[in-house]
């Protein structure tokens, strides 16, 4: 009787320790996943800030009658596409991230074309509203880079943890999936050619 009671207590103690260990790992995975979600929210915030600046930029540029309307239309369309794509932080898959990134890259490209075309308009380049908006856009682009890096670091920490044993078992049981990363734009691996 005494021996079976000791055995039962040992088995219950081992089960209790296992449950505590599993609970601790599960809660850590949840904490890491929430960190990824928070980092993703910051990424969306800075992209939204950029999108919010674009109408003011377009309106400032429209004031110059001979400005190329096609370029403005491309910027407006690219902004519409970029703001039309949102991703739930729980569903940060490679495909969703690629779709989001393509839309944002399209907007970046349209803005770059707009800023190149603006070089032909010295009066516009001297306009204080335009200069302020341009400075805000440049600052926002820097914020985007910082927040993308922060997101990738949070996703890396989460992904690494859920792949390690025994957390990988808990992640598999409870459906914690790997989070996608931001990737460099296609062609970024090639250095630009500079000709004098």
Q: Which domains does the chain have, with CATH numbers?
A: 2-174 (1.20.1440.20)
Radius of gyration for the chain, computed over Cα atoms and rounded to the nearest angstrom? 25
Under the banding of pLDDT at 50, 70 and 90, the label for residue 191 is very low
| For residue 78, pLDDT beyond 70 | yes
Residue with tokens 């044993």: 165
| For residue 182, pLDDT beyond 60 | yes
If you average pLDDT over residues 94-113, what whole number do you get? 88
Is pLDDT larger for residue 68 or for residue 146?
Answer: 146
Alpha-carbon gap, residue 196 to 181, rounded angstroms? 37
Q: What is the pTM of this model?
A: 0.78
CA dihedral sign of residues 138, 85, 152, 192: negative
69 by DSSP, 3-state: which? helix
Taking residue 24's Cβ as centre, other Cβ atoms within 10 Å add up to 11
Is pLDDT larger for residue 32 or for residue 188?
Answer: 32
Residue with tokens 């803005």: 111
Under the banding of pLDDT at 50, 70 and 90, the label for residue 194 is very low
Q: What's the token pair of residue 102?
A: 């393509």
Q: Output the pLDDT for position 66.
A: 57
- Per DSSP, 193 falls in state P
Alpha-carbon gap, residue 24 to 41, rounded angstroms? 26
Q: Which helix (H) or strand (E) holds 1?
A: none
């Amino acid at each position: 009787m005494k021996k079976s009671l000791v055995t039962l207590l040992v088995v219950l103690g081992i089960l209790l320790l296992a449950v505590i260990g599993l609970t601790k790992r599960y809660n850590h995975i949840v904490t890491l996943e929430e960190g990824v979600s928070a980092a993703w929210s910051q990424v969306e915030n800075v992209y939204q800030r950029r999108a919010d600046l674009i109408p003011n930029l377009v309106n400032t540029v429209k004031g110059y009658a001979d400005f190329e309307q096609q370029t403005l239309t491309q910027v407006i369309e690219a902004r519409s596409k970029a703001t039309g794509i949102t991703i739930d932080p729980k569903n940060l898959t490679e495909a969703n991230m690629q779709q989001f990134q393509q839309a944002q890259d399209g907007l970046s490209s349209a803005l770059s074309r707009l800023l190149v075309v603006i070089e032909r308009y010295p009066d516009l380049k001297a306009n204080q509203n335009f200069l302020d908006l341009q400075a805000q856009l440049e600052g926002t682009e820097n914020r985007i880079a910082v927040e993308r890096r922060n997101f990738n670091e949070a996703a890396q920490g989460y992904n690494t943890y859920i792949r390690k044993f025994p957390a990988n078992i808990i992640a598999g049981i409870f459906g914690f999936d790997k989070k996608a990363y931001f990737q460099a734009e296609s062609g970024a691996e090639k250095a630009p050619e500079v000709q004098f």
